[in-house]
Chains A and B, each alone.
Chain A
Amino acid sequence: NAGVTQTPKFRILKIGQSMTLQCAQDMNHNYMYWYRQDPGMGLKLIYYSVGAGITDKGEVPNGYNVSRSTTEDFPLRLELAAPSQTSVYFCASSYSGGRDYEQYFGPGTRLTVT
């Protein structure tokens, strides 16, 4: 199993550009999550999904969109990138809603918006 994979690893965007961060898992997990990690801070939940076709906002959803058309994939879309979106983005998945189930994290995508 590859686990949770994320692409790209690094990206520099200009203000106003758009991009999609890819996340895929091959563990047949129902739950998938997107987090951002800012310097000196913990992880903030952006969006999450409890299954294909079902997504919901987390703590910091503004400026982002997600979709979940398959169990395996959970892409995060940034429209009109802003410097405040400079961060490290982590995707995670778990079999179910956390109780007795671990979250598995991807390697992260480091995004800089200038």
Chain B
Amino acid sequence: ILNVEQSPQSLHVQEGDSTNFTCSFPSSNFYALHWYRWETAKSPEALFVMTLNGDEKKKGRISATLNTKEGYSYLYIKGSQPEDSATYLCAFETNNFNKFYFGSGTKLNVKP
């Protein structure tokens, strides 16, 4: 069983604050690292798929970086808005039959 850890477990910020979370994963058998945004009562939605060490991806105010050698990825949100409130999941995809291992998520609450 693979360990994918996310920190912090939850985060409360004020509107306009910038914030970041961490996803730690094994540095071996790496194939891809996925970030998802999961709003309450909805299904997870893909944010980024990252495959190369040093990758940086950006979508609006959200960006992510990847370090496969040390086994971590950061997700950044610049100028948080209340609509950013959600759980952010990362998933480690192995090069062994493309299995996915999810972290338990970081729950973000942005107060207006």
Contact = CB atoms under 8 A, between A and B. Distances in A.
B89 A108 contact: no
A98 B43 contact: no
A42 B105 contact: yes
B43 to A, nearest CB: 4
B16 to A, nearest CB: 29
Given A98-B31, A98-B32, A105-B44, A33 B100 contact: yes
A97 B99 CA distance: 9
A31 B49 CA distance: 16
A48 B99 CA distance: 8
Contacts of A100: 49, 51
A29 interface: no
Interface residues of B, number: 25
Contact of B98 (A4, A31, A43): A31
A78 interface: no
B102 A98 contact: no
Interface string A96-114: 0111111111111000000
A27 B69 CA distance: 35
A35 to B, nearest CB: 8
Interface of B: 1, 4, 6, 31-32, 34, 42-46, 49, 51, 89, 91, 93, 97-105
Interface of A: 4, 31, 33, 35, 40-45, 48, 50, 56, 58-59, 90, 97-108
